[in-house]
Each structure stands twice: as C-alpha cells, then as structure tokens.
Amino acid sequence: MKIFVAILLMLAAPAFSQGIGPTPALANRQLPDPAKEAEATRLMHSLRCIQCQGQSIADSDASMAATMRAEVRQQIVAGQKPEAIRVWMIERYGEWVSFEPDFKGAGLLLWLTPILLLFVSFWLARGLFRRRT
Amino acid sequence: MNRSWLLWAPLAVTACIGGLATYGLVVPKDEQVRSAMIGQKLPEFALPPATQGVLPLSNTDMGDGKPRLLNIFASWCIPCKAEAPQLEALEAAGVEIDGIAIRDRPEDVAAFLDEFGNPYRRIGSDSEMAVQLKLGSSGVPETYVIAADGTILFQHIGDIRTEHVPMLIEKLKATR
C-alpha cells in the first residue's frame, strides 16, 4: 500500500498555477544574429520581472517574464535600440521595471551619494593626517 | 578648533539608518505594480474570441462613446472565481464589461463561464499575455475603467470585493 501511494505521488502532476497558454516563440529561443542576441540579453538582465519581483526577466521562469523576453527580442529584431525598449517598458510599468535607475529624481540621489561620501571621507582623512604631522 | 560636534556625527548617521530599518519593518510593503498607462489611450490590439459563442475584443470595441470596464481574468485564477458575483452585480447595475482571458484554453474558459456565469459583452483571448504587457498589467484579476473615448482612467488590482462595486460604478458615472 505504501509503495502504491509512493508511486501515485511520483506520478502526480504539479498544479499549473500560471495557466496553460503557449509560451511565446521568442521567449526561450535566441536570435540568429549573435550581436542582436547579445544586445537583447544585456537588456533582459537589467529589466525586472513583474511577477517574481526582484528577479530579472533573463533569470525568471515566470510566464510574464517569458512574454517580456519575447517582447524585447521582437523589438530588437525590428531594429529598436535597447534603451528605447527600456523606455517602452517604463512607459507601461514605471521606473520600477528597470534595474538601472535614471539619472534624475530619486535616482540622482542614488548616483551622487557615493561620490559625495567619497569627498566627505577625503575631507575627514585630510584632517586626521594634518593633526599627526 | 572645537570640533566636538563631529563626534556625534557617526551616532546621528547610525540613528538615521536605524530609523530607516524600523520604518521598513513597521510600514507594510506595497508589492503591487501599478500600470503607468493610466490617463492614456488604450493600446492597439485585436484578440480572437476566448471560446465558442463569445465575441472577439479589439481596442476599437471600447471607447465608442460609452464608458466600460475591462476585466482581465483567467479560468485558472482563484481570485477571479471569487469576484464573479461582483461582476454579475455590476452587469445587473447596467455596466458593460469586456473581458480578456489570460493564458487560457477555449474549453477551460467555457467551463469557467458555465460555472460562474458570463457577465461579459466580449471576451478576447490573450494566450501569450502580449496585450497584458501592453496595458502595463501585472497579473490577474485586474479591472480597468475605460472612458467613453477609450482613455484608461483607473486600474483596480486584485479581485473586486463587494465594497468595490459602488466605487467602480461611481467612477464610470463620473466619466459620462
């Protein structure tokens, strides 16, 4: 009986919590042109998946990420620039969708804080050395 | 030179970081990703009917002078089953609802409509989620208020509960 139950458990199919629709053709297939594929992959690593938040669409296996990868590859094939595709995504999901914050608004603080801290620490260190001599 | 105030600077910085950490712990995180398409026209799309006996849906079917709800759902989505009575109530109140079925099979959509009723005027099938992406929608279920001219006015994320029904009716009335 135990063996029978064990066999049943092994045969059990996982639940389809994401639906059973087809995966877009370009979601998991590379583009024939390696240069274009490299461009697309670089962009995919810097776009955030909407479904499994925190993962890039290149890393995620969620159906939404598959759709987004297909969209990126389709637009690259159509001759669109990667940064224009990023803007296209931001127009739909907001700044949140990009892993590379823009050089404006709150993003400005993010970019400039390290530089500011570097200057402050130089200034503090300078004071220390002066006292010693 | 008196720089004793500088001694307090590290403590002040630490206190700031501590405050930020406490804020992060106390204030619940909002994990909803809102669409950035609110206030804009519906994107162009044309979807085939989601199952036999329903009408297809394209963007030109909406924005024809009458405000409507656009409901994004799926037969495999449990909150979509929970909101079915509320959609029925909205339909009974004279609201026209268009649907988009996400990653679904015609037979599953048919079974879903049989079990939970069909409040939809039209149902398009978005099997590859391409239109969902165009809308800036992040999951199922979601409901959009579409103005008489096809502008996306409002996005409701998650299932429609009883308390949301009057609010949605208000929003539709306000656009007329």
Q: Is B3 inside a domain boundary?
A: no
Q: Is B1 inside a domain boundary?
A: no
Q: Is B22 inside a domain boundary?
A: no
Using CA atoms, how far apart are residues B124 and B104, in angstroms rounded to an integer? 10
- Out of A16, A64, A91, the one facing B36 most closely (by C-beta) is A91
A93 close to B (CB below 8 A): yes
Domain ranges of chain A: 25-100, 103-133
- Out of A16, A19, A90, the one facing B102 most closely (by C-beta) is A19
Give residue A25's pLDDT.
85
How many interface pairs between A and B have CB atoms less than 8 angstroms apart? Answer: 72
B78-93 pLDDT per residue, tens: 999 999 999 999 999 9
Residues in A touching B129 (Cβ below 8 Å): 21, 63-64, 67
ipTM over 0.85: no
- Out of A16, A21, A93, the one facing B127 most closely (by C-beta) is A21
Closest to A76 in 3D by CA, of A36, A34, A35, A32: A36
Contacts of residue A113, Cβ cutoff 8 Å, sequence gap at least 6: none
Domains: count for chain B: 1
Q: Is B58 inside a domain boundary?
A: yes
CB atoms A93 and B36 under 8 Å: yes
A22 close to B (CB below 8 A): yes
Residue B52 belongs to what domain range? 46-175
Whether B120 has a pLDDT exceeding 80, the answer reads yes
Q: Is B36 inside a domain boundary?
A: no
Q: Is B110 inside a domain boundary?
A: yes
Q: Is B28 inside a domain boundary?
A: no
Residue B70's CATH number: 3.40.30.10
Contacts of residue B138, Cβ cutoff 8 Å, sequence gap at least 6: A50, A51, A64, A93, B32, B33, B35, B157
Q: Is B26 inside a domain boundary?
A: no
A52-62 pLDDT per residue, tens: 878 999 999 89
Using CA atoms, how far apart are residues B173 and B4, in angstroms rounded to an integer? 64
B10-69 pLDDT per residue, tens: 899 999 999 999 998 998 877 788 899 999 999 999 999 999 999 999 999 998 999 999
CATH number of this structure's domain A25-100, picked from the four choices 3.20.20.140, 1.20.1260.10, 3.30.70.100, 1.10.8.640: 1.10.8.640
**pLDDT tier, B110 (very low <50, low <70, confident <90, very high otherwise):** very high
Distance from CA of A2 to the nearest CA of B (A): 32
